[in-house]
Amino acid sequence: MQKIQVLMVCMGNICRSPMAHGVFAQRIREAGLDHAIEVDSAGTHSYHVGEPPDRRAQAAARARGYELGGQRARRLEAQDFLDFDYILVMDDENLRSARKLQPADGKARLYRFLEFAGARAEREVPDPYYGGSQGFATVMDLVEDAATGFLSHLRERHRL
């Protein structure tokens, strides 16, 4: 069985998408689905390529039991639409940027991550970069809900 490939995307790949990546990776492990699903993350801009996640993102994640330290920022590329099955963006700006890169023959399904967050009113994961620690806690709340919902979606759709 070929693994389902999932890519989390935000602007710089140092806050929201690494947090979503870390949370979803743990959800996969907890569900015993490491053999079936793989997750990565990328950014629509190259501001931070090669850098680890923002220290505040790492602290917010660590406070809830997630480890992000092994991740390094990279930029979203057109090839990702051929390599990944799902590309999950954090906001509408990321969605527009991703669509510009999306080749006609790309197989990836493109969604806003919060489409999987259940009954939440929010449509976008807000960028916490210029704010304080509360913004990172809010992002953690949102990505935890969306990760749980997205895993349920994959289980139903792919009979996992």
| Catalytic residue IDs | 10, 16, 127
SS (H, E, C) the chain: CCCEEEEEEECCCCCHHHHHHHHHHHHHHHCCCCCCEEEEEEECCCCCCCCCCCHHHHHHHHCCCCCCCCCCCCECCCCHHHHCCEEEECCHHHHHHHHHHCCCCCCCEEEEHHHHCCCCCCCCCCCCCCCCHHHHHHHHHHHHHHHHHHHHHHHHHHCC
